[in-house]
């Protein structure tokens, strides 16, 4: 005798309870190793450092890099990271929480959509595959913008598809249309125009294949467009009002010129993402031959979910294959649809695939853990955590931080530095403006606030020390060989040195120090 629908023993309630535990377990799985390793350079140090810089200034409106306006990317990740640090403390786990939230958003949105429009079995399988894809797992624990925007793009695409399917079935759809527009606006605030272009392109292609013009207009419902404008535009207009060159730099240079140009870092061939994806999705990619079968694509798909996922994955891969600059994290938005396609193919195989799929899931989970452990071994020697902690424990609030021919992105985060560092370099060198790197990032940022003189020459450094207050402390970071290159470091023993030569000195500009190093420069 079957249990009544309201009974705890009813199958639907048991499945719902087990799925709830599965969803909670997936989120905990993505969170558990986020504090294992120090921040990786340059990306994690840069983006966490920007969030800390905004937090220490008490002004979250303008992204700051070493106190200078930093408009490479929009602010949503920084806002979330700063809020996380404020609540959970200045640690790596808190810095990576926004990426994990983006991953969980992608997971839950994909699960809910597939369960509603395809099948519960495919939804559960998709969830298990996504969380054990090494690339997805790694992205969920990496403090940069890629996973956050991937999660928002996934939620936006699925909300948009839900909007059109609800309208086609005669169900209420307007609230979903507003939600879709809001998610697109948040994606724009996460990483710029791709937050609108990619979900918009995916949904447009899918609707064209469905010949669903009314679905397209449902997404352009005027209140939805208003919601997009209310969320996405105020920050842009505020920055333009403060910095007249913002629109050109942020939209023209950082979006269009970086997408079409070839003079940026990380240049790779057009086919880069195919082998990268096959490698970073192991061992699940061993199931990919199932996707080449005609029977898979001809199977019943009344709501067009399989077609949506195929269009979604293909458009992401093609879009990011166009620019010369390529990073593996850019294709994170393609992983949820690819996971669904694999899950659909596996679940259609029934019991004959279930045991092999379970073994694959265990092997994939082991690969995820191995990836994090390997990353810890790789990033720890390059980290400036030990130098930052030493500086945090010893420096006073009024002490000055100086970096010689280098900018350690993670140092402000670990040292809790309250003031912008002086960065000593030959800033008149025209090559700096041509090379994509940390020097150009700081030089570009300085153009938006030229009154903040933190990019200085060696001569200006010496002049500031020699004419500054007696007894002032200057914590100086560079490489061991800088001791012979800069006279101010002569006869000053290092306080800390890493195995690869990164060194911390403490200069105390008392009368004796100035007498030795300052010559005719006098104390004002």
Q: Centre a 10 Å sphere on the Cβ of residue 468 and count the other Cβ atoms it contains.
A: 15
Q: Give 159-204 pLDDT, tens digit per residue.
A: 999 999 999 999 999 999 999 999 999 999 999 999 999 999 999 9
Query: Mean pLDDT score of the chain, rounded to an integer?
Result: 90
Which residues, at least 6 apart from 290, have a Cβ–Cβ distance to it below 8 Å?
A: 296, 342, 345, 346, 349
Q: Give the three-class secondary structure for 266.
A: coil
Taking only the tens place, the pLDDT of each residue in 462-480 is 999 999 899 899 999 999 9
pTM of the model as a whole? 0.92
pLDDT at 1: 39
**Residues 346-379 as b or e (16 or more Cβ within 10 Å = b):** bbbeeeebeeebeebbeebbebbeebbeebeeeb
Binning the chain into helix, strand and coil, the percentages to the nearest 5 are 65, 5, 30
Q: Quick check: 5 and 12 in contact, CB under 8 A?
A: yes
pLDDT digits (tens, 9 = 90+) for 47-77: 999 999 999 988 899 999 999 999 999 999 9
Between these two residues, 99 and 328, which has the higher pLDDT value?
A: 99
């Amino acid at each position: 005798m079957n249990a009544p629908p309201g009974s705890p023993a009813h199958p639907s309630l048991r499945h719902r309870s087990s799925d709830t535990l599965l969803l909670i377990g997936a989120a905990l799985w993505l969170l558990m190793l986020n504090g294992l390793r120090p921040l990786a350079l340059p990306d994690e140090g840069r983006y966490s450092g920007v969030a800390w810089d905004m937090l220490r200034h008490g002004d979250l409106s303008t992204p700051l890099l070493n106190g200078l306006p930093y408009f490479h990317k929009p602010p949503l990740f920084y806002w979330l990271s700063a809020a996380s640090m404020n609540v959970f403390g200045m640690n790596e786990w808190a810095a990576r929480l926004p990426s994990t939230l983006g991953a969980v958003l992608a997971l839950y949105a994909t699960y809910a959509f597939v369960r509603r429009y395809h099948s519960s079995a495919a939804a559960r399988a998709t969830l298990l595959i996504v969380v054990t894809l090494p690339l997805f797992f790694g992205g969920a624990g990496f403090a940069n913008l890629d996973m956050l925007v991937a999660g928002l793009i996934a939620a936006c695409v699925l909300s948009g598809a839900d909007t059109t399917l609800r309208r086609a079935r005669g169900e209420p759809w307007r609230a979903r249309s507003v939600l879709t527009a809001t998610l697109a606006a948040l994606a724009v605030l996460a990483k710029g125009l791709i937050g609108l272009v990619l979900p918009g392109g995916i949904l447009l292609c899918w609707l064209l294949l469905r010949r669903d013009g009314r679905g397209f207009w449902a997404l352009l419902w005027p209140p939805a467009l208003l919601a997009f404008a209310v969320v996405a535009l105020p920050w842009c207009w505020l920055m333009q009002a403060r910095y007249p060159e913002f629109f050109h730099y942020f939209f023209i240079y950082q979006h269009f010129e970086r997408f079409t140009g070839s003079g940026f870092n990380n240049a790779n061939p057009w086919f880069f993402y195919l082998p990268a994806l096959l490698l970073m999705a192991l061992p699940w990619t061993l199931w990919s031959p199932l996707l080449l079968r005609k029977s898979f694509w001809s199977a019943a798909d009344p709501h067009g979910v399989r077609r949506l996922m195929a269009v979604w994955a293909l458009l992401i891969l093609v879009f990011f294959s166009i620019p010369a600059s390529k990073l593996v994290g850019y294709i994170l938005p393609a992983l949820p649809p690819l996971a669904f396609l694999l899950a659909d193919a596996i679940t259609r195989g029934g019991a004959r695939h279930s045991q092999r799929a379970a073994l694959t899931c265990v092997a994939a989970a082991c690969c995820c853990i191995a990836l994090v452990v390997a990353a810890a071994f790789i990033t720890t020697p390059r980290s400036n955590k030990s130098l930052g902690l030493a500086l945090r424990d010893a420096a006073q609030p009024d002490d000055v931080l100086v970096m010689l021919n280098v900018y350690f992105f993670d140092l402000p985060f670990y040292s809790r530095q309250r003031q912008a560092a002086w960065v000593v370099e030959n800033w008149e060198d025209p090559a700096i403006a041509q090379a994509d790197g940390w020097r150009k990032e700081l030089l570009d940022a300085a153009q938006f606030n030229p009154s903040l003189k933190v990019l200085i020459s060696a001569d200006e450094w010496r002049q500031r020390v020699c004419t500054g207050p007696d007894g002032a402390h200057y914590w100086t970071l560079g490489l061991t060989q800088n001791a012979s290159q800069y006279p101010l470091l002569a006869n000053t023993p290092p306080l800390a040195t890493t195995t690869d030569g990164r060194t911390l000195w403490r200069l105390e500009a008392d009368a004796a120090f100035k007498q030795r190093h300052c010559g005719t420069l006098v104390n004002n």
